[in-house]
Amino acid sequence: MAATQVLKSEWTKIRSVASTVWTLSLAAVVTIALGMLISVLSKNDYDNLSREDKLTFDPTFISFAGMSLGQLAMIVFGVLVVSNEYSTGMIRTSLAAVPGRGTFLFSKVLVAALLALVVGLATSFAAFFAGQAMLGSHRAQLGDPGVLRAVIGGGLYMTLIAMFSMGVAAMLRGPMLSLGILMPFFFLISSILGNVSATEKIGRFLPDQAGSRIMQVKAPFDDDTPYGPWGGLAIMVAWTVVALVGGYVVLRRRDA
């Protein structure tokens, strides 16, 4: 099967499954809505902040507060894109039609990643403008130093979360097992490691903590992170590449 036909086939699969469409919609709604709520609360609490906190007040990053929950929907999207075929048994038919397993997997990842990128960028810009509207006089402008980079970075972050999840799902195959590992990892383990002094330096190199740096415009005074916004995104890219290569190796070596 020609590469263009494989890509069209993967697009049809993703578009025809209602759950994948709903998860992308949920990622956008949750990210924007929660970002607006946190922005309102931050505006109301601004006068109570210390002088140091006011100097490092980051209205751009505040508008992305909903990303912590929105990324969970992106994780579900990434897992479903890959594991749906395993749970329904369609994987055998797909691999019979596309014997090249690398072509099959990376065509699926490419189509899903492009869709996640479009949704991620739209969500990131919408969350930024909605959040800044809630912040009123404390808002940032898109033309301010570092802001456009942070907003575009938000879309890239959501895309990489989905791609990382696709790689893990390709390794684990089952949707329940994949979600059972990814959800606690991002929602609990990463947060715990990043907020405990003994493991803080390890936690900052996890994909979500490193990648989220791209959305920050201002860093706290006591921040000693050894990388900047683009360095953090590069770490997240590295995690994603490792996950996808691992998924390909498993797909190539194991029967459907």
Going from N- to C-terminal start, the domains of the chain cover 3-253
The pLDDT score that the predictor gives to residue 221 is: 63
pLDDT band at 6 (very low <50, low <70, confident <90, very high): confident
pLDDT tens-digit readout, 183-242: 999 988 888 888 888 888 888 999 999 999 999 998 776 678 889 999 999 999 999 999
Count, in order, helices (H) and strands (E) of the chain. Answer: 13, 0
The pLDDT score that the predictor gives to residue 17 is: 74
* Residue 254, pLDDT above cutoff 80: no
pLDDT band at 90 (very low <50, low <70, confident <90, very high): confident
* Residue 1, pLDDT above cutoff 70: no
Q: Which of 86, 152, 108, 134 is nearest to 15 (CA)?
A: 108
* Residue 100, pLDDT above cutoff 90: no
Q: Minimum mean pLDDT among 100-104, 239-243, 246-250: which range? A: 100-104
Q: Minimum mean pLDDT among 13-22, 105-114, 246-255: which range? A: 13-22
- Single-letter residue type at 59: P
Q: Which of 6, 242, 5, 237 is nearest to 102 (CA)?
A: 6
Per-residue pLDDT averaged across 23-42, rounded? 95
% of residues, the chain, pLDDT over 90: 60
